[in-house]
Structure 1
Amino acid sequence: MSDYIIVTDSNADLLPEYCKQHNIVEMELTYTLDDKTYRCNDPSLSRHEFYDYMRGGKMPITAQINMEETNNKLIPILEEGKDILCIMFSSGLSGSYNSVRIVGEELQGKYPDRKIVVIDSLCASLGEGLLVDKAVTRKEKGMSLEDNAQRVQEDMPHLCHYFTVADLFHLHRGGRVSATAAVFGSMLGIKPVLHVDDEGHLIPLSKVRGRKASLLALVDNMEKLIDRKNCDKFFISHGDCLDDAKFVAEEVKKRFGFHDCMINYVGPTIGAHSGPGTVALFFMGKHR
């Protein structure tokens, strides 16, 4: 069985200590704020500070992973004689997957004895993170790269993403809702519930009135779709609203009895489009 490393990108929103513990190599996306460019995990600007800038009206500009970053992360792994299983942010939301795929093909020609598998996760935030987590668990139990890659593909149609936002204007800026919907929805306290579909695109699902109702709607959707046979944990990401994330977590624990949960921030390169106050729930379901 080949020795391989699992690689992902910073849009998986995994905790840094988790990546270190499980020897995950993470490629970082970048964003620009006030004419200064930051890596996603740049310690000079905390997640709270980032979202405070957005609350103050700042609009970050994001960039996909470039080929130089990809080479810098992948070549040292190959030089060590190890293979690569790379699980990337949805191609329906970014060009990063395609950039990494192209580099992977080029490196495969230069390192013909190594295996490089690059997968378009069709997932986002801790949905991508949960997909990586399942792959890590299988790897640590001894599963081969080839079998693990196949299982990742099998998991993808069942990785459910449900989220809500506090402010419709950020979705409008990203083209997800019209200006009229953003204005009137905000005036009426309308909160959208969205999900990521089978093609990895962001899709509005329903609308509810009020913040608490929108948070409960996430768990209601989980109740409808959960695959109890294959779901033993859930992940939650948030746009600097930890109390709301904890509220959702407690509701999930109360309804389903789960206690294995990761909660983390929505990182800057996704948060730039979803905004402060985003709460997202991820779990394994019968379908997306």
Structure 2
Amino acid sequence: MGYRIFTDATADHSPEMLAGFPEVTVLPMEVILNGKSRIYGPGGDMDVAEFYEALRGGATASTTQIRPDVYFKHFSPCLEAGEDILYLCFTSGMSGTYQTAQMCAQELRESFPERTIRCVDTLCASAGEGFLVREAARKKAEGMDLDALGDWVEANRLSVCHWFTVDTLEFLRRGGRISTAAAVVGTALQIKPMLHVSEEGKLEVAEKLRGGRRAMSAQLARMKKGWEPSIGKLVVIGHGDSPEKAEELKTLVHEAFPDSEIQTAPIGPVIGTHTGPGMLAIIFWGSER
């Protein structure tokens, strides 16, 4: 009966990005908001707008890995229906989710020995993971079988370039990415760090820029340096509840790369917990991650 693509709620995307492509099942994830457990994703009880409104109001947030019972709950009916599974997982460089998924998959293989369950570490995060999932759905629509698609994702995942800036240093400080002293000095100097996801799938600071305009220019410069449209022309602009800034960056990208296929996507609570409101990302196929 074929196979189904699964991913998790860290794979930020818009409904338009997956419209017309084979179904992708998204696993919900837990976010602790002001000490209370909330669920983000299909069937969840929290949306993006509510989350960022809470953060702007001073709320605290943290995230947890997907529990094993969530994998069993979502994978088992698919396997029982005779479908195989390709799971495109949040980067192992930022979470133990991939290791948990592998353990659950092995247990399910014992119960469903005739089925195939393949877990792929995307080494991508947020809109970058959503970007890769969308491109995988495109390849499935073109007729790729499960094994070929899994191989394709592993061969191309490091060509997904993530370049993003944050509007405030506070959430990087809370997550231990920068020190309190660095956050205080950076805020005073209006520093807008540009971060990226490394080849190991880890979040790293690439540049320290002053002002939002310079930050956008730096993001565009990264794309000019390494864009590889031969792999695909999709470009995703991700934003942390900042649609106006996303539209501004989208216009700049369209002017510089008129052949690009640009989509915008909200940055959800799982990643937004660590980047805060105002985060702005540009994702594209490129030669320099």
Same fold (TM over 0.5): yes
Distance 1:243 1:49 in 2: 18
CA deviations on 1:105-159 (whole Å, 9 max, x unpaired) are 1111111111110001010011111111111111111111111111001111111
Amino acid at match of 1:32: I
Distance 1:58 1:198 in 2: 32
Amino acid at match of 2:160: L
2:147 matched residue in structure 1:
146
SS at match of 2:282: strand
Unaligned runs of 5+ in 1: none
SS at match of 1:237: strand
Amino acid at match of 2:26: E
The answer as to whether partners of 1:165 and 1:279 remain within 8 angstroms in 2 is yes
How far did 1:16 drift? Answer: 4.5
1:33 matched residue in structure 2:
33
The answer as to whether partners of 1:252 and 1:258 remain within 8 angstroms in 2 is no
The answer as to whether partners of 1:233 and 1:258 remain within 8 angstroms in 2 is no
Q: Is 2:7 the partner of 1:8?
A: yes
Distance 1:161 1:236 in 2: 10
Distance 2:149 2:212 in 1: 39
Distance 1:50 1:177 in 2: 23
TM alignment of 1:70-85, pairs within 5 A? 70-85=71-86
1:225 matched residue in structure 2:
226
Distance 1:19 1:39 in 2: 22
TM alignment of 1:206-217, pairs within 5 A? 206-217=207-218
Q: Is 2:272 the partner of 1:280?
A: no
2:135 matched residue in structure 1:
134
SS at match of 1:87: strand
Amino acid at match of 2:101: V
The answer as to whether partners of 1:92 and 1:200 remain within 8 angstroms in 2 is yes
Most deviating of 96-105 and 15-24: 15-24
CA deviations on 1:62-100 (whole Å, 9 max, x unpaired) are 111110111111011101101111000011111111111
Distance 2:122 2:14 in 1: 18
Amino acid at match of 2:9: S
How far did 1:34 drift? Answer: 2.7
Most deviating of 212-221 and 193-202: 212-221
SS at match of 1:31: strand
Most deviating of 75-84 and 168-177: 168-177
1:161 matched residue in structure 2:
162
Distance 1:125 1:192 in 2: 17
TM alignment of 1:71-220, pairs within 5 A? 71-220=72-221
- RMSD value, Cα: 1.6
The answer as to whether partners of 1:171 and 1:273 remain within 8 angstroms in 2 is yes
SS at match of 1:11: coil
Q: Is 2:236 the partner of 1:238?
A: no
The answer as to whether partners of 2:40 and 2:47 remain within 8 angstroms in 1 is no
Q: CA distance change for structure 1 residues 281 and 17 in 2, over 3 Å: closer, same or farther? A: closer
Distance 2:225 2:260 in 1: 19
How far did 1:20 drift? Answer: 7.5
TM alignment of 1:62-77, pairs within 5 A? 62-77=63-78
SS at match of 1:205: strand
Distance 2:182 2:225 in 1: 27
How far did 1:233 drift? Answer: 1.1
Distance 2:215 2:11 in 1: 23
SS at match of 1:58: coil
How far did 1:17 drift? Answer: 6.2
Amino acid at match of 2:127: L
Distance 1:275 1:147 in 2: 37
Distance 2:66 2:19 in 1: 21
SS at match of 1:69: helix
Amino acid at match of 2:38: Y
Distance 2:108 2:19 in 1: 25
Most deviating of 66-75 and 48-57: 48-57
